Structure 1
Amino acid sequence: MPRAAYTIREFCAAHRISEAMYFKMRAAGLGPREMRTLRKVAISVEAAAEWRRERENLAAEASDVGQV
């Protein structure tokens, strides 16, 4: 069965960021969309892919600004 969602720990490991960085990014409004149940937080595979695209787009924009 293919993965449907990550825990925060799994997301951080898969994206090679620390959990502390995840929470800093989330506090700054830069984290992925989360699904919440009573006690659990999960990040869907789709939300993870969207988050990566957003980060890539921001990096590309920053590099374009640096080239002007």
Structure 2
Amino acid sequence: MARPEVTGRKQFNAVDAADAYSVEEFCARHRISPQLFYKLKPQGLMPVTFNVGTRVLISREAAADWRRARENAARASHQGVS
């Protein structure tokens, strides 16, 4: 198979197209460790999860909401510092 940089075609990434991520996929995508995820989840600092059978998943929308909330919290803390 030809490399995308040679063909100019974008490579399909199934994780990017997913409607929901596993905890491991979410952590890898956001460059945090699963340990940090499970440490911050009880504090309400991680996205909402849902179960499908025994799997714990995070919807694309919940991940986007989480990123937005983290950005807003960072913005608010920076505005409070003069």
* TM-score between both structures, scaled by the size of structure 2: 0.77
Structure 1 SS opposite 2:81: helix
Counterpart Cα distance in 2 of 1:24 and 1:64: 27
Taking CA–CA contacts closer than 8 Å with sequence separation of 6 or more, which of the two structures ends up with the larger relative contact order?
A: 1
Counterpart Cα distance in 2 of 1:24 and 1:66: 27
10-19 vs 26-35, which moves further:
26-35
Counterpart Cα distance in 2 of 1:15 and 1:57: 17
User: Is residue 26 from structure 1 mapped to residue 41 from structure 2 by the alignment?
Assistant: yes
Deviations 1:3-59 (A, max 9, x none): 110000000000000001101110111110111133110000010000000000000
Question: RMSD in angstroms over aligned alpha carbons?
Answer: 1.2
- Consecutive unaligned residues of structure 2, counting only runs of 5 or more, are 1-13
In structure 2, the residue matched to 1:17 is 32
User: Is residue 3 from structure 1 mapped to residue 18 from structure 2 by the alignment?
Assistant: yes
User: Is residue 43 from structure 1 mapped to residue 54 from structure 2 by the alignment?
Assistant: no
In the alignment of these two chains, the number of paired residues is 67
User: Is residue 60 from structure 1 mapped to residue 75 from structure 2 by the alignment?
Assistant: yes
Query: Max radius of gyration: which structure?
Result: 2
* TM-score between both structures, scaled by the size of structure 1: 0.91
Which amino acid counterpart does residue 56 of structure 2 have in structure 1?
V
Sequence identity (%): 42
